Amino acid sequence: MLARFLKRPGSEHPSESVPIVLRATNMPRISPLASVDPKAHIADDCEIGPFCMVGPDVTIGTGCRLLSHVVLAGWTTVGCDNTFHPHCVIGGPPQDKKFRGERTQLIIGDRNDFREAVTVNLGTELGGGITRIGDDNLLMVNCHVGHDCQIGSRTILSNNVMLAGHMHIGNNVVMSGGAASHHYVTIGDFAFIAGMARIHHDVPPFVKLSEKDKIRAINSEGLRRAGFSESDIEQVEEAGKKLFFNREKNHTMAAALAEFDVMNGIHPQVKLLIEFLKRRDSGKHGRYLESLRPPKKA
> Is the residue at 77 inside a domain?
yes
Average pLDDT of the chain, as a whole number: 90
Structural domain containing residue 99: 24-166
Residue-wise pLDDT tens digits, 25-58? 567 899 999 999 999 999 999 999 999 999 999 9
147 is catalytic: yes
> Is the residue at 78 inside a domain?
yes
Q: What long-range pairs does 35-43 form, CB within 8 A, spacing at least 24?
A: 43/80
Report helix, strand or coil for 16: helix
Overall number of domains in the chain: 1
101 is catalytic: no
What CATH number is given to the structural domain containing 83? 2.160.10.10
> Is the residue at 58 inside a domain?
yes
Q: Say what the pLDDT of residue 283 is.
A: 83
pLDDT over threshold 50, residue 285: yes
> Is the residue at 5 inside a domain?
no
pLDDT over threshold 60, residue 6: no
Instruction: Specify whether the CB–CB gap between 191 and 169 falls below 8 A.
Output: no
> Is the residue at 248 inside a domain?
no
Q: Say what the pLDDT of residue 297 is.
A: 65
Residue-wise pLDDT tens digits, 116-129? 999 999 999 999 99
Residue 4 pLDDT level (bands cut at 50, 70, 90) = very low
Catalytic residue among 57, 110, 148, 189: 148
165 is catalytic: yes
Residue-wise pLDDT tens digits, 172-227? 999 999 999 999 999 999 999 999 999 999 999 999 999 999 999 999 999 999 99
Report helix, strand or coil for 209: strand
Residue-wise pLDDT tens digits, 70-86? 999 999 999 999 999 99
> Is the residue at 30 inside a domain?
yes
Q: Say what the pLDDT of residue 203 is.
A: 98
123/112 Cα distance (integer angstroms):
19
> Is the residue at 233 inside a domain?
no
Catalytic residue among 74, 127, 165, 222: 165
Catalytic residue among 69, 147, 168, 182: 147
DSSP state at residue 291: G
Residue-wise pLDDT tens digits, 83-117? 999 999 999 999 999 999 999 999 999 999 999 99
Q: Report the pLDDT averaged over residues 162-169.
A: 98
Q: Pick from 296, 241, 232, 295: which is nearest to 268 by CA?
A: 232
Residue 298 pLDDT level (bands cut at 50, 70, 90) = low
pLDDT over threshold 70, residue 137: yes
Residue 18: its H or E element? strand 17-22
| CB atoms inside a 10 Å sphere around CB 61 | 19
